[in-house]
Structure 1
Amino acid sequence: SLATNMVVLTTYWLSFEYVQNPRRALEPESAGESLMRGAYHVLSVLIPYALGEHKLHLQALAAKYAAPHA
């Protein structure tokens, strides 16, 4: 179900980030980027189920999380 997918994503996202890049994952300066990517993926799972203005809002929000941050 959608809710289960979202729970799994949020629960294990940081572990996934560690597997992807173990040398950088535990560095404090990369934590924000990791969380932003996780939020983007959770929203990406939800977007196909939204309609109308709600979908547009979620897409705009996801785009902000996907944008590179300095």
Structure 2
Amino acid sequence: MGPTEIKVVALEVVGEVLQQQVRNTDNFLDLGGHSFLAVQVAQAVEQRVAKSLGPVADSSAPDALRRG
């Protein structure tokens, strides 16, 4: 699974965790996310893609996953 597919999965998981529709340009913290939810998101994405993501706050992460 490539980076684009992982981003799609990540956005789906963020939307599920925050219980709202999320776009690639949305900011996770502005949507009500916090550190505990970020851990949940990271674990769920890693399980779905069967790959360790490492830090998710880098420049390749969708805005919805970056720190504010």
Larger RCO (CA within 8 A; separation ≥ 6): 2
**Shorter-chain TM-score tier:** 0.3 to 0.5
TM-score by length of 2: 0.39
Q: Which has the higher helix share?
A: 1
